[in-house]
Amino acid sequence: MTTNQRFSVAGETAVITGSSQGIGKVTAELFAQEGANVVVSSRSQEKIDAVVEGINESDAPGRAVAVECDVRERDSVEALMDATVEEFGSIDVLVNNAGASFMAGFDDISENGWETIVDINLTGTYHCTQAAGAHMQEQDDGGVVINFASVAGTKGSPYMSHYGAAKAGVVNLTTTLGYEYAPHDIRVNCIAPGFVATPGVATQMGIDAEDVDRDTVRRRMGLSEEIADIVQFLASDASSYMVGETITVKGVPDIEESPEV
């Protein structure tokens, strides 16, 4: 296997949750372009149909199908995994990208608001990984699980305590499953992005992807394409020695500078 082939996902089948827009959509498009079959999934059938249509009408060698799924509902998740196996014969890669958040002070977060964010970000990861893991454990060559956390879950983030707590749980779950699933030839890793110019960030913060200068190293806002590249790395044989890890991707680091006197 050549060096370039070790980064290949050609011929793999990937389930990507929350892929109607943003990082998930770009990842689905990249994987299909690289020769993988992709299952595009979110709660909006209309949106995922549009993503799949764009992929299948392009010159991408991989094929895409759309399966509506609410990651909070176990029956919906199991139907997603069953549909994937029925369509493509296996689940080689699971990308737990579905997520949601809103900004609020801790005292202003209602019980319903807290439960909703934890259900989507943490419990949804549990549902999808357990359901896909059952199929992967029956496969001869195992599989790969890629979770999405956030720097809010590794360092904390004011006005996003519910989201940060859920994502911290995803980081810990990744480490534990990396150990538990290793005997089944299933690698589990995680990505913790900083700010990425997605439609969600554009809505909350008014920052558009077109405003990000990709030619400079010194920036604190990333692009979905840059995160998708890391997803491909984790899905490929190039990351074969990486298990149970969380990769933080947030641009220029915050450092403690020497004070001026």
Active site residue 179: no
Residue of 126, 159, 163, 181 marked catalytic: 163
Concatenating the DSSP letter of every residue in the chain gives: --HHHHT--TT-EEEEET-SSHHHHHHHHHHHHTT-EEEEE-S-HHHHHHHHHHHHTTT-SS-EEE----TT-HHHHHHHHHHHHHHHS---EEEE---------GGG--HHHHHHHHIIIIIHHHHHHHHHHHHHTTSTT-EEEEEE--HHHHT--TT-HHHHHHHHHHHHHHHHHHHHHGGGTEEEEEEEE--B--HHHHHHH---GGG--TT-S--S-B-HHHHHHHHHHHHSGGGTT--S-EEEE-SSPP--PPPP-
Give catalytic residue positions: 163
